[in-house]
């Protein structure tokens, strides 16, 4: 089918402001938006710039705004969108070139919640024990691929870029609810701060945007309840 | 810009991060990666990582060694395989201690499942050996290692594209890299360099590999006269999603999935009566090819069905959630109700930069090390995978040899020091970048790359013969010539991916030549290399590793003996 792609472009070496360019591509309805972008880049306009790697929704490189919603270009099929497709960079991050945004701040926010297992006990000879039920308690939040689709769909984050944002909260949840972890109190201290969990207004945009179907709002609510009622 | 450190690690997938973590706090380390570390290809590994923990049933690392050697069609170096399988056990516990969320048994131990080619008691029956985190084991390894690197304040240079290796008077001294964001060329001066740059599956069209998997490290090593070992051995995974190549884990068959042809027959009963659908990948890929050729592909086309419909839907959702998601997203299929169309997909390079068990790059048949140069993971060839890698052993390889390389580097650093760099160490890299940046030829990089990939699929894939390989060889000569007439459109410095795609395509071309030469020369069939004109394994002539080197622009062929200790080559049946 014939598809018209309207892509928001910006070249820092030449442009003062962004502009939209329109490209026509011939493509299968079952192809990915990423395939359409590749067709443009490879055969029409080599200057078009975007991140991509695994092309099947695991590496988290190609989150972008597609027809107004945050999605992964490699996990969105043309047939879901129709013949007119608009593509813009993620909102709320600095655009460096075309669909390439600055991720450094995003990773700094992630790092600020101590996203690693904290355990002060001596290391055992074999594995630490964990029941399947304990493992299940944080299964959903282990799926995060750090694509930033959630954080850049979050209105409180748009208005306050220092808010740790849903992605960092998801990763805090992944450790706080891990029975092997002993860093819950330090993390909750951070998350109870000014730029922590209370900036969340329960908009649910994050949950809608997540390409991994993580129940993000639910995870954030679990953190809030832990802070309020059962401070560890 | 000039940077000085003790160690430069290139690549931040499992091998690079494992090494960085081991080095953190003990040496000054710079880690370069062309993508953000969490985007690395390790993250796409699904099914599991094997170790003879014996959590579900009796198991021994010696059994794991045997399976690895037999799976590799006896081309593995058995001393290295023993290191891999013995270290595996402690490594899995180490990963668990670092936080890796493995699935668990009811008793709280790490759960284990069946995987292709892994058996009990030297081949008697399948064994539960693969430790897993649902079907995102690679994702969890990558995340866990990156998280721990953050904790240890490892210094990352994210989105730096490797351009060159600095070797002076036979000593490795650092690397040159392009900072993608600014276009600036950086020199990293260090007495120890570890390549953990991954494989080169993008040399093929139908592949499970990431678009970034272009063999940059391997190609750059070849250009410096370092040999590539066993490049003709490339693994085709039997279950890639039809036409797309996206991987459907062997874990799906480990949980009870079976392959069926157009008549609905479970055809692996005819080919591998003991292990059935859990036979090694090279065999199943060939069997699918044969089914298709005999007209038993689905609708007469070039694919078969992977049938998960008889599994308990709860098992599918709990243990295979990601592949369920892929199949729903890309095919609109519910795998608990409908069968999945699959075909072999280019998956893993058994060959690579030759190393010893400490990750030291060795440059000849006598295993002479190149001081300061290390390699680990898919870009390296230890050789623990021989002619065909067993499922899960790649994740093991990256963690075991990433760690061992780092440990050897620490010993090496006690003597190794910063020798003065040669003048204009970054000269060749700068010249290459300006050549491509100013190129105005009529050839399009994407067109050449697509022709390369089609040619490799058609002629150097699952089934090969002399005629096909000669066709490929001539085509590669043509492509290489045309590649000197490319023109790119982006002349800017900021994130110039037009430039990097051209460099990557050059790397793929360099590697493709070695695959074809190795395959043409190896007149036998072994593991992942199958010659229809030489369908038998020929131990008398070819029980040896291939070493291909580029000397003065021409490829030269050599060999290296295989280390055989306990397991004498036998006929390989399952």
pLDDT in tens, B169-211: 999 999 999 999 999 999 999 999 999 999 999 999 999 999 9
Closest chain A C-alpha to B495 CA, distance in angstroms: 7
What are B117-149's pLDDT values in tens digits? 999 999 999 999 999 999 999 999 999 999 999
Q: Are residues A80 and A176 in the same domain?
A: no
Q: Are residues A185 and A214 in the same domain?
A: yes
State how far the Cα of B452 lies from the Cα of B457, in Å rounded to an integer.
Answer: 9
More confident residue, B310 or B416: B310
Average pLDDT score over chain B: 97
Say how many Å lie between the first and final Cα of chain A, rounded: 56
Q: How far is CA B433 from the centre of its chain?
A: 27
Residue B346, phi then psi, degrees to nearest 5: -60, 125
Q: Are residues A56 and A80 in the same domain?
A: yes
Non-local (6+) Cβ contacts of B481 within 8 A are none
Q: Do B103 and A126 touch (CB under 8 A)?
A: no
Q: Do A55 and B211 touch (CB under 8 A)?
A: yes
Question: Is B305 a residue whose pLDDT tops 50?
Answer: yes
Task: Please give the CATH number for the structural domain made up of B238-344.
Answer: 3.90.700.10
Residues for chain A: how many in total? 232
Its CATH architecture, for the domain B1-233+350-422+542-574, is: 3-Layer(bba) Sandwich (3.50)
Enumerate the residues of chain A whose CB falls inside 8 A of the CB of residue B489: 45-47
B248 near B536, Cβ under 8 Å?
A: no
Enumerate the residues of chain B whose CB falls inside 8 A of the CB of residue A135: 101-104
Best residue in B197, B495, B496 for a mutation probing chain A (most A CBs within 10 Å): B495
Domain extents in chain B: 1-233+350-422+542-574, 238-344, 427-541
User: What DSSP character marks residue A142?
Assistant: G
Q: Percent of chain B beyond pLDDT 70?
A: 100
What pLDDT is stored for residue B43 in this prediction? 97
What pLDDT is stored for residue A231 in this prediction? 55
Q: Are residues A85 and A21 in the same domain?
A: yes
CA distances from B3 to B34, B161, B185, B208, B426 (A): 17, 15, 11, 35, 12
What pLDDT is stored for residue A232 in this prediction? 43
Q: Do A130 and B246 touch (CB under 8 A)?
A: no
What are B16-69's pLDDT values in tens digits? 999 999 999 999 999 999 999 999 999 999 999 999 999 999 999 999 999 999
State the SS3 of B234-301: EEEEEEEECCCCCECCCHHHHCCCEEECCCCCCCHHHHCCCCHHHCCHHHHHHHHHHHHHCCCCHHHC
Residue B15, phi then psi, degrees to nearest 5: -70, -45
Q: In this predicted structure, which of B27-41, B69-83, B409-423 has the lowest mean pLDDT? A: B409-423
Q: Do A103 and B494 touch (CB under 8 A)?
A: no
Q: Are residues A114 and A220 in the same domain?
A: yes
Q: Is the peptide bond before B455 cis (omega within 30 degrees of 0)?
A: no
Closest chain A C-alpha to B535 CA, distance in angstroms: 35
State how far the Cα of A60 lies from the Cα of B43, in Å rounded to an integer.
Answer: 10
β-pair partners for B342: B241, B304
Q: Do A129 and B329 touch (CB under 8 A)?
A: no
Among A101, A125, A141, the domain boundary falls at A101
- CATH 1.20.58.100 is held by the domain B427-541: yes
β-pair partners for B247: B240
Q: Are residues A216 and A195 in the same domain?
A: yes
pLDDT bracket for residue B325 (50, 70, 90): very high
State how far the Cα of A185 lies from the Cα of A190, in Å rounded to an integer.
Answer: 9
Q: Are residues A55 and A117 in the same domain?
A: no
State how far the Cα of B435 lies from the Cα of B500, in Å rounded to an integer.
Answer: 12
Picking from A37, A47, A40, A39, the residue whose alpha carbon sits closest to that of residue A10 is A47
Residues for chain B: how many in total? 574
What are A58-89's pLDDT values in tens digits? 999 999 999 999 999 999 999 999 999 999 99
Q: Do A45 and B489 touch (CB under 8 A)?
A: yes
**Helices (H), ranges, B306-361:** 313-319, 321-331
What are B506-562's pLDDT values in tens digits? 999 999 999 999 999 999 999 999 999 999 999 999 999 999 999 998 999 999 999
What pLDDT is stored for residue B416 in this prediction? 73
B383 near B279, Cβ under 8 Å?
A: no
Which A positions 141-180 lie with beta carbon below 8 A of chain B?
A: 142-143, 145-146, 175, 178, 180
Among A50, A81, A101, the domain boundary falls at A101
Is pTM beyond 0.80 here? yes
Question: Is A230 a residue whose pLDDT tops 80?
Answer: no
Out of A53, A60, A117, the one facing B98 most closely (by C-beta) is: A117
B462 near B289, Cβ under 8 Å?
A: yes
Q: How far is CA B50 from the centre of its chain?
A: 16
Question: Is B306 a residue whose pLDDT tops 60?
Answer: yes
Both structure tokens of B115:
């995987």
Burial B81-114 (b: 16+ CB within 10 A, else e): bbbbbbbbbebbbbbbbbbbbbbbbeebbbbbbb
Q: Do A57 and B329 touch (CB under 8 A)?
A: yes
Out of B38, B41, B151, the one facing A116 most closely (by C-beta) is: B151
Contacts of residues B149-154 at CB distance under 8 Å and 24 or more positions apart, as own/partner, are B149/B17, B149/B20, B149/B21, B149/B24, B149/B31, B149/B37, B150/A111, B150/A115, B150/A116, B151/A114, B151/A116, B152/B21, B152/B24, B152/B25, B153/B24, B154/B20, B154/B21, B154/B24, B154/B29, B154/B31
B189 near B28, Cβ under 8 Å?
A: no
Question: Is residue A108 within 8 angstroms of chain B, CB to CB?
Answer: no
B296 near B240, Cβ under 8 Å?
A: no
Question: Is B157 a residue whose pLDDT tops 50?
Answer: yes
Question: Is A163 a residue whose pLDDT tops 90?
Answer: yes
Best residue in A32, A33, A54 for a mutation probing chain B (most B CBs within 10 Å): A54
Closest chain B C-alpha to A215 CA, distance in angstroms: 15
β-pair partners for B145: none
Out of A49, A54, A213, the one facing B497 most closely (by C-beta) is: A49
Burial B519-555 (b: 16+ CB within 10 A, else e): bbebebbbbbbbbeebeebebeebbbbbbbbbeeeeb
Residue B224, phi then psi, degrees to nearest 5: -95, 15
Specify the CATH number for the domain of residue A72.
3.10.20.30
State how far the Cα of B465 lies from the Cα of B470, in Å rounded to an integer.
Answer: 9
Strands A2-9 and A84-88: parallel
Q: Do B39 and A123 touch (CB under 8 A)?
A: no
> A35 to chain B: nearest residue by CA?
B244
CA distances from B123 to A77, B48, B65, B251 (A): 44, 20, 11, 19
Say how many Å lie between the first and final Cα of chain B, rounded: 56
> A174 to chain B: nearest residue by CA?
B101
Question: Is residue A137 within 8 angstroms of chain B, CB to CB?
Answer: no
Q: Are residues A116 and A217 in the same domain?
A: yes
- Catalogue the active-site residues of B: 281
Q: Do A139 and B246 touch (CB under 8 A)?
A: no
Both structure tokens of A8:
């928001």
Closest chain B C-alpha to A126 CA, distance in angstroms: 6
Q: Are residues A94 and A126 in the same domain?
A: no
Domains identified in chain A, total number: 2
Q: What's the average model confidence in pLDDT over A123-133?
A: 97
Question: Is B417 a residue whose pLDDT tops 90?
Answer: no
Non-local (6+) Cβ contacts of B431 within 8 A are none
Q: What's the average model confidence in pLDDT over B383-396?
A: 97
Q: Are residues A161 and A87 in the same domain?
A: no
Burial A135-156 (b: 16+ CB within 10 A, else e): bebbbbbbbbbbbbbbbbbbeb
For helices B78-97 and B61-71, the axis angle rounded to 10 degrees is 120
Question: Is B278 a residue whose pLDDT tops 90?
Answer: yes
Q: Are residues A64 and A118 in the same domain?
A: no
Q: Do B93 and A127 touch (CB under 8 A)?
A: yes
Q: Percent of chain B beyond pLDDT 90?
A: 98
Contacts of residues B462-467 at CB distance under 8 Å and 24 or more positions apart, as own/partner, are B462/B236, B462/B285, B462/B286, B462/B289, B462/B344, B462/B530, B463/B286, B463/B289, B463/B530, B463/B532, B464/B519, B464/B529, B464/B530, B464/B531, B464/B532, B465/B531, B465/B532, B465/B533, B466/B520, B466/B531, B466/B533
Q: Are residues A85 and A108 in the same domain?
A: no
What pLDDT is stored for residue B415 in this prediction? 86
Closest chain A C-alpha to B212 CA, distance in angstroms: 6
State how far the Cα of B560 lies from the Cα of B545, in Å rounded to an integer.
Answer: 5
Closest chain A C-alpha to B77 CA, distance in angstroms: 29
pLDDT bracket for residue B91 (50, 70, 90): very high
Q: Do A58 and B322 touch (CB under 8 A)?
A: yes
Out of A58, A130, A145, the one facing B108 most closely (by C-beta) is: A130
Tokens 């970034």 appear where? B212
Domain that holds residue A164: 104-229
Question: Is residue A115 within 8 angstroms of chain B, CB to CB?
Answer: yes
State how far the Cα of B8 lies from the Cα of B48, in Å rounded to an integer.
Answer: 29
């Amino acid at each position: 089918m014939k598809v018209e792609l309207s892509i928001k472009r910006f070249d820092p070496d030449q442009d003062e402001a962004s502009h939209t360019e329109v490209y026509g591509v011939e493509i299968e309805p079952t192809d990915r938006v990423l395939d359409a972008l590749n067709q443009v880049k490879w055969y029409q306009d080599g200057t078009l710039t975007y991140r991509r790697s695994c092309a099947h929704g695991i590496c988290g490189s190609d989150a972008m705004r597609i027809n107004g919603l945050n999605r992964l270009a490699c996990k969105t099929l043309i047939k879901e969108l129709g013949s007119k497709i608009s593509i813009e960079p993620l909102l709320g991050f600095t655009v460096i070139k075309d669909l390439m945004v600055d991720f450094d701040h995003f990773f700094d926010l992630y790092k600020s919640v101590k996203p690693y297992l904290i355990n002060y006990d001596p290391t055992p000879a074999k594995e630490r024990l964990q029941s399947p039920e304990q493992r299940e308690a944080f299964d959903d939040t282990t799926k995060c691929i750090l694509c930033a689709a959630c954080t850049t769909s979050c209105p409180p984050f748009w208005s306050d870029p220092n808010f740790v944002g849903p992605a960092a909260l998801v990763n805090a949840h992944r450790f706080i609810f891990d029975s092997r972890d002993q860093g819950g109190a330090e993390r909750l201290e951070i998350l109870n701060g000014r730029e922590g969990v209370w900036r969340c207004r329960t908009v649910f945009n994050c949950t809608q945007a997540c390409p991994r179907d993580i129940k993000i709002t639910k995870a954030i609510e679990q953190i809030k309840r832990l802070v309020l009622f059962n401070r560890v | 810009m000039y940077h000085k450190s003790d160690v430069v690690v290139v690549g931040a997938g499992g091998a690079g991060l494992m090494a960085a973590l081991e080095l953190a706090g003990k040496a000054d380390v710079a880690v370069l990666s062309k993508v953000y570390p969490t985007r690395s290809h390790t993250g796409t590994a699904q099914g599991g990582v094997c170790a003879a923990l014996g959590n579900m049933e009796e198991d021994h690392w010696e059994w794991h060694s045997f399976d690895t050697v037999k799976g590799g069609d006896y081309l593995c170096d058995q001393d290295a395989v023993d290191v891999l399988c013995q270290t595996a056990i402690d490594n899995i516990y180490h990963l668990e201690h670092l936080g890796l969320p493995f699935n668990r048994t009811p008793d709280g131990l790490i759960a284990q499942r069946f995987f292709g080619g892994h058996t009990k008691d030297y081949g008697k029956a399948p064994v539960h050996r693969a430790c897993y985190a649902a079907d995102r084991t690679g994702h969890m390894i990558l995340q866990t290692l990156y998280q721990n690197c953050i904790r240890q304040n490892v210094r990352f240079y994210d989105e730096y594209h490797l351009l060159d290796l600095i070797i002076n008077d036979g000593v490795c001294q650092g690397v040159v890299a392009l900072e993608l964001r600014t276009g600036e060329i950086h020199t990293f001066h260090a007495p120890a360099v570890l390549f953990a740059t991954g494989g080169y599956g993008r040399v093929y069209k139908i592949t499970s590999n990431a678009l970034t998997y272009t063999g940059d490290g391997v190609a750059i090593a070849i250009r410096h006269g370092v040999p590539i070992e066993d490049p003709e051995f490339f693994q085709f995974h039997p279950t890639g999603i039809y036409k797309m190549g996206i991987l459907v884990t062997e874990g799906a068959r480990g949980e009870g999935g079976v392959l069926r042809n157009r008549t609905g027959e479970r055809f692996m009963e005819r080919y591998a009566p003991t292990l059935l659908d859990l036979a090694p990948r090279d065999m199943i890929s060939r069997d699918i090819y044969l089914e298709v050729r005999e007209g038993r592909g689905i609708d007469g086309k070039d694919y078969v069905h992977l049938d998960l419909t008889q599994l308990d839907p709860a098992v599918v959702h709990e243990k295979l959630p990601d592949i369920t998601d892929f199949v729903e997203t890309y095919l609109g299929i519910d795998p608990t109700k409908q069968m999945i169309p699959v075909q072999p997909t280019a998956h893993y390079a058994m060959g690579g930069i030759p190393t010893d068990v400490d990750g030291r790059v060795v440059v000849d048949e006598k295993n002479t090390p190149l001081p300061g140069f290390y390699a680990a993971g898919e870009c390296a060839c230890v050789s623990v995978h021989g002619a065909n890698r067993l499922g899960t052993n790649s994740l093991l390889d990256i963690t075991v040899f990433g760690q061992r390389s780092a440990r050897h580097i620490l010993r090496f650093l006690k003597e190794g020091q910063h020798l003065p760099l040669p003048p204009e160490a970054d000269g060749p890299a700068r010249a290459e970048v300006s050549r491509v940046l100013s190129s105005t030829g009529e050839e399009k990089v994407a067109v050449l790359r697509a022709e390369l990939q089609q040619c490799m699929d058609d002629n150097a894939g699952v089934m090969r013969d002399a005629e096909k390989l000669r066709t490929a060889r001539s085509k590669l000569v043509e492509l290489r010539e045309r590649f000197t007439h490319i023109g790119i459109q982006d002349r800017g410095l900021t994130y110039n991916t037009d430039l990097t795609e051209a460099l990557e395509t050059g790397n793929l071309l360099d590697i493709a030549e070695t695959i074809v030469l190795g395959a043409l020369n190896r007149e036998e069939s072994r593991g992942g290399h199958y010659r229809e004109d030489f369908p038998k394994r020929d131990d008398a002539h070819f029980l040896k590793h291939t070493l291909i080197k580029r000397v003065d622009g021409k490829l030269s062929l050599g060999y290296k003996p295989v280390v055989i200790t306990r397991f004498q080559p036998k006929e390989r049946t399952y």
